[in-house]
C-alpha cells in the first residue's frame, strides 16, 4: 500500500483501489500523521497534494497559499500531463498570483479559487464547460492549446486553528477506477478533502510558527553576537567570522573520507546546532569590562594613562626650568649658569620615550627594561600643593612591567572568565531538544586536548567533535585577525605553523587539524577575509609531518 507521499497511479492495481475505497478514514488518518511529523515545507506541501489525490483519485491538484490578498501557486501536479511544479525558493511556478480583489476593491468571486478563499466555502463543480457561475475561460483556452480536458473541479479552502483561510486546495478530474473516465467529485470526496485541508492548514501554520520562532531565535542570537562585537572596535567581527570558519570546517568533515574521522558526519540538525553554538561561543563577553577587552596598551583603562605620565614629566621639566630661572635671578650681575637642569630634562625626555615604547606591550619585555621602569618610578615629583609622590605609582609599574602583551594576570583572568559566564548563561537557557548541546559546544572551545585548558580542564575524549572544532576556529580567527591592537596581522604560513605546533603539543585536535589542512579550509577563509599581503605560499604537507 503506497504511503501518503505517493499519489495513486491511475493504472495501478484495481484491487488496491477497491480496498482503499473501503477504508478512506484509515488512509486519511495515516496522511494526517504524516503531515503532523513533517518539518520540511516542500515535503509537507507534497504530502498534502499527494494525500488529496490519493483520497479522490484526482488527475491534477494545485495548492495555493494566501499572502497579501493574493493566492500564490505553491505546488502543482498532474499525472496525465506529467506535470510536477513547485515554488521551493530555487524555482517558481511561472503563473501570476490570483488577486482576491480588483484594483477598485471588488471581491474576485468569479475565480473559483479566490471565491473559496473569500467565502471560506468549498466549491464542487461536475463540469466546468457547463458552469456559468465562475469564469473558466482561461482554463478552457489552456485546454485547447494542449489538448487536455479539465472537467470536474473540487476547490477547498484551508483553514487553520484560528479559523483563518491560509490557502486553497484545488483538485481537477476525479478518475473512475473502473473505466478510467473523468467523473464528478463525490460528496464523500469533498468531506475527505475538507478534513485533509483542515489538517493541512494546521500543519502549514505550525510549520510557519516553528519557522518564525526559529527565525526570531536566530536574529536574537545574531544581535547578541553583533552587540558583543560592537563592544570592542578591536574584535570587530569575531563573532561573525568564527561561525564562518566553524561551518566551513563542518562541511570539510562531511566531505572527508580518510583518517579516524572518516565515518563521522554531521546531519542537518547537528549543523544547525553548531551554527547556533558558534554564534554564541563568546556571549559571556557581554559581562566583560570594556576597558579590559579593549586594553590596547599596558596603561589603558578607560583611557591610556600614559597621558598622566606625560603630564608628570612635563611638570618636573617645568620645575627644573623654574629652578634654573631662580638661580639666574639670585645671581643677578654674576655670569653663572647651571647645566644640571638641562641634563636632567634631557634624561627625563629619554625616560618618557622609553616608557611610551614599554607601554605598547607588543614585544617581549626584557628584565633590563623592567628594572629601568622601576628605577624611573622611584623618582619623586611634587604636586601643586607641595606633596611629594612617586613619578610612577606601584600599580602603574605593575602594568608597565608586563612581560608580554598588555594584560595583567588578574585582567587575563577576567578575560578568561567570559567562558564561565558563557557556560552559565547557556546552561540556564531551556534549549529545545535539537539544540541541547549548544552549551557544551560553545562552552568548551578554550579547553585543550591534554586537559590543560579552561575552565574545566577537560581532555579530548570528554569533548564532542563540534567543541574541538570550535577551538580551532576560535584560535585561527584570533591569529589571522588584522584588527587586534596588540599585534600585527600574521601571514597565513605563520598561523598554520602555530596551529601545527598546537596540534603536536596537545592543544588542539590533530585529526581535525589534518582535515582543516587537507580540505584547505584555511585558504577558502583567507581568500575571503584576509588582507592580500597575509596570504603567502602554503605547502600543506609542511604542516602534516
Output the CA–CA distances (angstroms, integers) from residue 320 to 181, 217, 348, 376, in the order listed. 114, 65, 11, 17
The DSSP H or E segment spanning 353 is: helix 340-360
Contacts of 72 (CB under 8 A, 6+ apart): 64, 65, 66, 87, 97
Give the pLDDT band (50/70/90) at residue 449.
Answer: very high
Q: What is the pTM of this model?
A: 0.61
Average pLDDT over residues 420-445: 90
Cell numbers 484551508 correspond to what residue? 158
Give the pLDDT band (50/70/90) at residue 232.
Answer: low
Nearest partner of 71 among 198, 200, 153, 166, judged by Cα: 166
Q: Which of 79-88, 151-160, 411-420 has the highest mean pLDDT?
A: 151-160
Nearest partner of 392 among 410, 375, 404, 406, judged by Cα: 375
What pLDDT sits at residue 94? 80
Cell numbers 567562558 correspond to what residue? 419
Lowest-confidence pick of 167-176, 189-198, 377-386, 520-529: 377-386
Average pLDDT over residues 305-322: 66
Residue 139: is it exposed, middle or buried by C-beta count within 10 angstroms (0-12/13-18/19+)? middle
Give the pLDDT band (50/70/90) at residue 18.
Answer: very low
What pLDDT sits at residue 20? 44
Please state, in angstroms and rounded to a whole number, the distance separating the CA atoms of residues 82 and 469.
47
Contacts of 281 (CB under 8 A, 6+ apart): 239, 242, 422, 441, 442, 445, 470, 474
Give the residue, 339 or 141, on which the prediction is more confident: 141
Give the residue, 213 or 15, on which the prediction is more confident: 213
Q: Give me the phi and psi of 171, to 5 degrees please.
A: -110, 145
Cα dihedral angle (48, 49, 55, 56), rounded to 10 degrees? 150
Write out 471-499 in H/E/C secondary structure: HHHHHHHHHHCCCCCCCCCCCHHHHHHHH
Neighbouring C-beta atoms of residue 428, cutoff 10 Å: 8
| pLDDT tens digits for range 155-211 | 999 998 888 999 999 999 999 988 889 999 999 999 988 988 888 888 888 877 778
Amino acid at each position: 500500500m503506497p504511503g501518503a507521499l505517493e499519489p495513486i497511479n491511475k493504472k495501478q492495481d484495481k484491487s488496491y483501489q477497491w480496498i482503499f475505497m473501503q477504508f478512506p478514514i484509515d488512509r486519511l488518518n495515516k496522511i494526517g500523521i504524516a503531515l503532523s511529523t513533517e518539518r520540511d515545507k516542500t515535503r509537507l506541501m507534497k504530502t498534502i497534494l499527494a494525500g488529496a489525490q490519493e483520497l479522490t483519485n484526482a488527475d491534477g491538484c494545485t495548492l495555493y497559499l494566501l499572502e497579501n490578498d493574493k493566492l500564490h501557486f505553491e505546488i502543482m501536479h498532474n499525472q496525465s500531463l506529467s506535470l510536477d511544479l513547485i515554488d521551493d525558493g530555487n524555482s517558481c511556478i511561472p503563473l501570476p498570483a490570483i488577486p482576491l480583489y480588483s484594483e477598485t476593491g471588488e471581491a474576485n468571486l468569479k475565480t473559483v479559487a479566490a471565491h473559496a478563499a473569500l467565502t471560506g466555502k468549498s466549491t464542487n463543480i461536475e463540469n466546468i464547460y457547463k458552469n456559468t457561475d465562475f469564469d473558466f475561460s482561461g482554463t478552457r483556452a489552456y485546454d485547447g492549446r494542449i489538448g487536455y480536458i479539465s472537467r470536474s473541479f473540487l476547490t477547498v479552502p484551508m483553514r487553520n486553528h484560528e479559523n483563518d483561510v491560509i490557502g486553497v486546495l484545488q483538485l481537477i478530474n476525479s478518475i473512475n477506477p473502473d473505466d478510467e473516465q473523468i467523473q464528478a467529485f463525490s460528496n464523500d470526496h469533498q468531506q475527505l478533502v475538507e478534513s485533509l485541508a483542515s489538517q493541512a492548514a494546521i500543519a502549514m501554520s505550525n510549520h510557519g510558527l516553528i519557522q518564525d520562532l526559529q527565525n526570531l531565535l536566530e536574529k536574537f542570537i545574531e544581535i547578541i553576537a553583533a552587540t558583543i562585537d560592537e563592544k570592542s572596535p578591536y574584535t570587530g567581527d569575531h563573532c561573525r567570522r568564527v561561525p564562518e570558519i566553524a561551518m566551513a570546517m563542518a562541511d570539510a568533515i562531511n566531505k572527508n573520507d580518510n583518517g579516524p574521522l572518516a565515518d563521522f558526519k554531521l546531519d542537518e540538525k547537528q549543523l544547525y546546532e553548531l551554527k547556533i553554538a558558534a554564534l554564541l561561543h563568546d556571549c559571556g563577553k557581554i559581562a566583560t569590562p570594556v576597558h579590559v577587552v579593549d586594553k590596547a596598551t599596558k596603561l589603558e583603562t578607560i583611557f591610556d594613562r600614559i597621558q598622566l605620565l606625560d603630564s608628570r614629566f612635563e611638570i618636573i621639566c617645568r620645575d627644573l626650568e623654574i629652578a634654573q630661572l631662580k638661580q639666574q635671578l639670585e645671581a643677578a650681575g654674576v655670569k653663572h649658569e647651571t647645566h644640571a637642569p638641562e641634563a636632567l630634562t634631557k634624561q627625563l625626555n629619554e625616560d618618557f620615550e622609553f616608557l611610551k615604547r614599554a607601554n605598547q606591550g607588543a614585544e617581549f619585555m626584557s628584565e633590563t627594561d623592567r628594572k629601568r621602569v622601576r628605577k624611573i618610578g622611584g623618582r619623586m615629583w611634587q604636586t601643586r600643593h607641595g606633596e611629594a609622590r612617586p613619578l610612577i605609582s606601584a600599580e602603574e609599574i605593575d602594568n608597565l612591567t608586563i612581560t608580554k602583551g598588555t594584560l595583567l594576570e588578574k585582567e587575563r583572568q577576567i578575560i578568561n572568565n567570559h567562558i564561565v559566564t558563557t557556560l552559565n548563561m547557556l546552561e540556564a537557557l531551556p534549549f529545545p531538544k535539537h539544540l541541547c548541546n549548544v552549551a557544551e559546544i560553545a562552552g568548551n572551545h578554550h579547553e585543550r586536548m591534554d586537559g590543560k585548558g579552561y575552565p574545566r580542564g577537560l581532555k579530548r575524549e570528554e569533548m564532542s567533535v563540534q567543541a574541538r572544532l570550535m577551538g580551532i576556529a576560535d584560535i585561527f580567527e584570533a591569529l589571522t585577525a588584522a584588527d587586534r591592537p596588540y599585534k600585527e596581522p600574521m601571514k597565513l604560513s605563520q598561523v598554520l605553523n602555530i596551529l601545527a605546533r598546537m596540534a603536536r603539543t596537545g592543544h588542539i585536535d590533530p585529526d581535525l587539524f589534518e582535515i582543516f589542512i587537507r580540505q584547505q579550509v584555511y585558504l577558502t577563509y583567507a581568500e575571503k577575509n584576509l588582507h592580500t599581503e597575509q596570504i603567502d605560499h602554503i605547502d600543506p604537507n609542511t604542516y602534516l609531518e
